[in-house]
A and B are shown apart, each in its own frame.
Chain A
Amino acid sequence: MQKITREILIDKAAFLLSTGVVGSVFGWRAGEFDYDVTPALFTDKTDLKNNFVFGDFCGANVSKYLIKATKNAEEKILVFLKPCDTYSFNQLLTEHRFNREKVYVVGIPCEGMADVRKIKEKAGEGILKISSTEDGVIVDTLYNGTISLKKEDILLERCKNCKSKKHVAYDELIGEDGTVLENDRFDEVAALEAMSPEERFNFWQNELSRCIRCNACRDVCPACTCEKCVFDNPESGVENKAAYNSFEEKMFHIIRAFHVAGRCTDCGECSRVCPQHIPLHLLNRKFIKDINQFYGEYQAGEEVGSRAPLVNYTKEDIEPNDAVNKGDK
């Protein structure tokens, strides 16, 4: 699937390290299994050579990690960003979360990342090795032999509706830059909007009641970078670790969606990491759809310093009652 190999990236990183442009590298570290990849900071060349990976399981958006990484770094950090990561990167810069001067961005193309859950569903347990092919993967399994799977069957949900192959931030690019893509990512939201309030309530009740409050969605979200999250702050009045009924889980996700409204770039990390498979991105996408409808098309992170419609007042802004009326339709 990925056209670009880990060797190209390692060569690039080694070159930038040896020429002193950067002092460390942020990328993805290999795990025990092929699909078990973790975002990581590499400071050592050997470590980089042995453990740096790039492939179909590098879905993780690494831009958020730069906040912590840049805090302690003396020298510049090299970071490899996929197109969708660059939107989060810009949004973080807009919010002054780290210093752009401390980062060297190499934009890398992305062919869409694989969802290991889907592979496991099709190939079963006992996956030994997953190798990338032109239009899919070949899976060696312990029990079911070798299985070949098609790209469209194993793509991450969010990659099926990829919004852009264009890098909106980089110092250097590997390969050709892509373009912003036509997509129908709002179709799912429209389907929810078409439901009756009762159906919609039941839908979310069913989804959100599975939440175990592991906070993974919040921890991975590039828009959730508060010094102290309201959910960790006993003073905030909304913090609670042990929810006493499933309604409180709803509130957690709804409050979080409000907090990131206008700042969410729709990177889809929340849904990717949710161990309970809750389609959390739909909440954020509903906000994005409404913002687009009420205030004109807006893509968070498209440029640094852009004023999100929700925190920017213009005389042309929709009147609140018009927004409510439009919402009813």
Chain B
Amino acid sequence: MQRIGVFVCWCGSNIAATVDVEAVSQALAKEPGVVHSANYQYMCSQAGQDLIRAAIKEHKLTGIVVCSCSPRMHEMTFRKTAESAGINPYMVEIANIREQCSWIHKDILTGTEKAIVLGRTAIAKVNLNAPLTAGESPVTKRALVIGGGIAGIQTALDIADAGFEVDIVEKNPTIGGKMAQLDKTFPTLDCAACILTPKMVDVAQHEKIRIFSYSEVAAVKGFVGNFDVTIKKKARYVREDVCTGCGLCTEKCPVKKVPNEFNLGMDTRRAIYIPFAQAVPKVATIDADYCNMLKNGKCGVCSKVCTAKAIDYEQKDTLIEEKYGAIVVATGFNPISMEKFDEYAYSQSKDVVTSLEFERIMNAAGPTQGKLVRPSDGKHPHTLVFVQCVGSRCANCAEKGKEYCSKICCMYTAKHAMLTRDKYPDTDVYVFYIDVRTPGKNFDEFYRRAAEEYGVHYVKGMVGKVMPEGDKLMVRASDLIANKQINIAADMVILAAAIEPDKSARSIATMLTASMDTNDFFTEAHPKLRPVESPTAGIFLSGACQGPKDIPETVAQAGAAAAKVIGLLAKDKLKGNPCVASSNELMCNGCSSCERVCPYGAISYVDKEFRGPNRTVLVRRVAQVNPAVCQGCGACTVACPSGAMDLKGFATKQIMAEVDAICK
């Protein structure tokens, strides 16, 4: 029989206001196995912990129940307390009477009653607890960064600068991401390329960083410190180690009408291409969908003009297996499709563009060499209408857009408006908005400059409809402050499209068993206290894959993620989780169900001899768990039909005892 001590925490008034802590500790004192029960203002404080330690010594306790906050907050604290007093840390159970009780109940009677039930449940479990000892596993001192945008670049550089090897997997032919497509950056208006490309070069030249461009993560196995990752390197039909990036092939290729994705399809490129001048790696890639040679075996021009002999039409996708200790997700974002927003005539007129397209139009390396002209006729536009929140904050149009605020649109729209007015003072610029949101250093000053110094017409209200008429775009909108309808004959309409996580994020999350929210943004382990870690150990988050972010925020988060990775990789060994599965060989059927559901490959089978009746020996196939690989997810315990698999620390019996205690 255990000798259990119960410690009820008031958490100041957090618990004590809605739970009669004295009544709880008195009621739990009567439970079987309990030899001591106390309550205290802050159990997690030094004094509170001393109380526990003293009680362990005085009452010779073998098990501890702390009725306090969520185990995610202080389970580790109390385990350490117990350990320091000579009790196995896994003899401690937390009854969560704060998040699951006092915070959600208003009535002290109900709250107290429920707190007693929760305490009783934990006591029922501790009665069946057994001491557990954690094993150790080594750490592979190399990190993987998925995504080579500014987030991935910054994370990789920071990790590599700390002396650890980093691999970047980028699905496009070059790193750089969305930032490479931008013209100027707010609030300082420095040129995006000027600040990004040095970083891209740093990455390329860093001896600790490898770039797998035009590659994807194909499979992930393993666990924190020991991930086995399969990277699919897509065939680019150009030998990366040989290509000098001279670009001759991209000039001679006869297939000229390929939509250029870097300029969002507003101009064309060749079938063999280098996305942009500062691409890293600066290596050509053949677009297999358009290349004549790959499609029908006729052409071969690029191969003929290539002096380095880098063209290889026979190249195949290759799979690379690598080991990593940590994985950083930096898969970024995309603007949403404008398909469902027909009221803005995006598909009807070329002069209705998204903000990212506008960014390319304004960029010196863009389809118009930075000259602001209408995509339809190349004429200079005089009246420009910017529409904010297209698909953002769409609470009642969730089937079209997103409920959340995309966060960056207010600022880049102010930037676009300001730049337009600065370069072309003859223009009239309107911005239609729901609210202008500018929380950020020097952000509001930036917006006010646009409105006040540059004379941008900010109109509070939404655009209802855009109708192409002749060469004009008739914009019908409401001005909520003047309370009237306005009609503007515009030359161009620019839509601030909402942003969403990259489509690849979901399959990556699945491979990593990292959780996502309903919008497919990765969820963090704690929204305030662990913002760059995924709840899955060893997986970290960087940039817009976690939520809409501007560049300063992305870079800050990228550095934070790197710091977390460095902290992990600096360790030689990781203490494992002793709550692992184990198989009762006497009951195991050897049916392989557990092996099939195990996501970690922790289960194997052996033929084992058992004593049968009448001195016979039976050989049976039974499951064995490798505790160093098992992560304690428990999938095998539910798959096992005979109940031979059980989880240490969460044994079926313990769970049943908890359920019984609740239902008593």
Contact residues of A with B, CB < 8 Å?
A: 71, 94-97, 225-230, 233, 235-237, 259-260, 263, 307-308, 310-313, 315
Given B591, B596, B620, B641, which contacts A312 in the complex, CB threshold below 8 Å? B596
Given A228, A236, A311, which contacts B596 in the complex, CB threshold below 8 Å? A311
Q: How far is the CA of A226 from the CA of B644 in the complex (A)?
A: 10
Q: How far is the CA of A27 from the CA of B641 in the complex (A)?
A: 29
Which residues of chain B are near A225, meaning CB under 8 Å?
589
The main secondary structure of chain A at its interface with chain B is: loop
Q: How far is the CB of B600 from chain A (nearest CB, A)?
A: 12
Q: Does B73 contact A (CB under 8 A)?
A: no
> Is the pair A227, B596 in contact by a Cβ cutoff of 8 Å?
no
Q: Does B587 contact A (CB under 8 A)?
A: yes
Query: Ordered nearest first, which 9 A-B pairs have the shortest CB separation?
Result: A226-B642, A95-B591, A311-B596, A237-B656, A259-B641, A311-B597, A228-B587, A96-B590, A236-B643
Segment 620-652 of B: residues with Cβ below 8 Å from A: 620-621, 639, 641-644, 652
Known: A226-B587, A226-B642, A315-B510. A237 touches B653 (CB 8 A): yes
> Is the pair A313, B597 in contact by a Cβ cutoff of 8 Å?
yes
Q: How far is the CA of A227 from the CA of B599 in the complex (A)?
A: 25
> Is the pair B586, A235 in contact by a Cβ cutoff of 8 Å?
no
Q: Does B504 contact A (CB under 8 A)?
A: no
> Is the pair A228, B642 in contact by a Cβ cutoff of 8 Å?
yes
Chain B residue at smallest Cβ distance from A230: B643
Q: How far is the CA of A220 from the CA of B188 in the complex (A)?
A: 78
Known: A97-B589, A237-B653. A311 touches B643 (CB 8 A): no
* Range for the number of chain B residues in contact with chain A: 20 to 34
29 A-B pairs with CB atoms under 8 Å apart are A94-B592, A95-B589, A95-B590, A95-B593, A96-B589, A96-B591, A96-B592, A97-B589, A225-B589, A226-B587, A226-B589, A226-B642, A227-B587, A228-B586, A228-B587, A230-B643, A235-B643, A236-B652, A237-B653, A259-B641, A263-B641, A310-B639, A311-B593, A311-B597, A311-B639, A312-B596, A312-B597, A313-B599, A315-B507
Q: How far is the CA of A226 from the CA of B586 in the complex (A)?
A: 11
Q: Does B588 contact A (CB under 8 A)?
A: yes
Which residues of chain A are near B605, meaning CB under 8 Å?
96
Q: How far is the CA of A94 from the CA of B596 in the complex (A)?
A: 12
Contact residues of B with A, CB < 8 Å?
A: 507, 510-511, 586-593, 596-597, 599, 605, 618, 620-621, 639, 641-644, 652-653, 656
Q: How far is the CA of A213 from the CA of B596 in the complex (A)?
A: 32
Q: How far is the CA of A227 from the CA of B585 in the complex (A)?
A: 10
Which residues of chain B are near A94, meaning CB under 8 Å?
592
Given A227, A233, A260, A313, which contacts B589 in the complex, CB threshold below 8 Å? A227
Q: How far is the CA of A313 from the CA of B593 in the complex (A)?
A: 12
Q: How far is the CA of A260 from the CA of B596 in the complex (A)?
A: 16
Q: How far is the CA of A228 from the CA of B643 in the complex (A)?
A: 9
Which residues of chain A are near B587, meaning CB under 8 Å?
226-228, 233
> Is the pair B641, A96 in contact by a Cβ cutoff of 8 Å?
no
Q: How far is the CB of B592 from chain A (nearest CB, A)?
A: 6
Which residues of chain B are near A307, meaning CB under 8 Å?
596
Given A96, A229, A312, which contacts B642 in the complex, CB threshold below 8 Å? A229
Q: How far is the CB of A122 from chain B (nearest CB, A)?
A: 40
Q: How far is the CA of A230 from the CA of B656 in the complex (A)?
A: 14
Q: How far is the CA of A94 from the CA of B586 in the complex (A)?
A: 20
Q: How far is the CB of B10 from chain A (nearest CB, A)?
A: 36
> Is the pair B641, A226 in contact by a Cβ cutoff of 8 Å?
yes
Chain B residue at smallest Cβ distance from A226: B642
> Is the pair A97, B591 in contact by a Cβ cutoff of 8 Å?
yes
Q: How far is the CA of A235 from the CA of B656 in the complex (A)?
A: 11
Q: How far is the CA of A211 from the CA of B299 in the complex (A)?
A: 77
Given B588, B593, B653, which contacts A235 in the complex, CB threshold below 8 Å? B653
Which residues of chain B are near A315, meaning CB under 8 Å?
507, 510-511
Chain B residue at smallest Cβ distance from A310: B639
Interface centre among B511, B587, B597, B621 (most CB of A within 10 A): B587
Q: How far is the CA of A313 from the CA of B597 in the complex (A)?
A: 7
Which residues of chain B are near A260, meaning CB under 8 Å?
641
Which residues of chain B are near A233, meaning CB under 8 Å?
587, 642-643
Known: A237-B653, A307-B596. A96 touches B621 (CB 8 A): yes
Which residues of chain A are near B588, meaning CB under 8 Å?
227
Chain B residue at smallest Cβ distance from A232: B642
Q: How far is the CB of A318 from chain B (nearest CB, A)?
A: 13
Which residues of chain B are near A313, meaning CB under 8 Å?
597, 599
Q: How far is the CA of A243 from the CA of B163 in the complex (A)?
A: 66
Q: How far is the CB of A98 from chain B (nearest CB, A)?
A: 11
Q: How far is the CA of A237 from the CA of B128 in the complex (A)?
A: 14
Which residues of chain A are near B589, meaning CB under 8 Å?
95-97, 225-227
Q: How far is the CA of A239 from the CA of B249 in the complex (A)?
A: 75
Chain A residue at smallest Cβ distance from B659: A237
Q: How far is the CA of A198 from the CA of B641 in the complex (A)?
A: 30
Q: How far is the CA of A230 from the CA of B511 in the complex (A)?
A: 34
> Is the pair A227, B593 in contact by a Cβ cutoff of 8 Å?
no
Q: How far is the CA of A237 from the CA of B596 in the complex (A)?
A: 25
Interface centre among B591, B597, B618 (most CB of A within 10 A): B591
Chain A residue at smallest Cβ distance from B605: A96
Q: How far is the CB of A21 from chain B (nearest CB, A)?
A: 24
Given B586, B592, B597, B652, which contacts A227 in the complex, CB threshold below 8 Å? B586
Q: How far is the CB of A97 from chain B (nearest CB, A)?
A: 7
Which residues of chain B are near A229, meaning CB under 8 Å?
642
Q: How far is the CA of A22 from the CA of B591 in the complex (A)?
A: 27
Chain A residue at smallest Cβ distance from B652: A237
Q: How far is the CB of A299 from chain B (nearest CB, A)?
A: 17
Q: How far is the CA of A186 from the CA of B599 in the complex (A)?
A: 33
Interface centre among B592, B620, B656 (most CB of A within 10 A): B592
Chain A residue at smallest Cβ distance from B655: A237
Known: A227-B586, A233-B587, A315-B510. A95 touches B592 (CB 8 A): yes
Q: How far is the CB of A308 from chain B (nearest CB, A)?
A: 8
Interface centre among B589, B599, B653 (most CB of A within 10 A): B589
Q: How far is the CA of A96 from the CA of B511 in the complex (A)?
A: 29
Given B510, B591, B596, B642, which contacts A230 in the complex, CB threshold below 8 Å? B642
Which residues of chain A are near B591, meaning CB under 8 Å?
95-97
Supply 8 further A-B pairs (C-beta < 8 A) apart from A94-B592, A311-B597, A315-B511. A71-B618, A96-B589, A97-B589, A226-B642, A227-B589, A228-B586, A235-B643, A313-B597
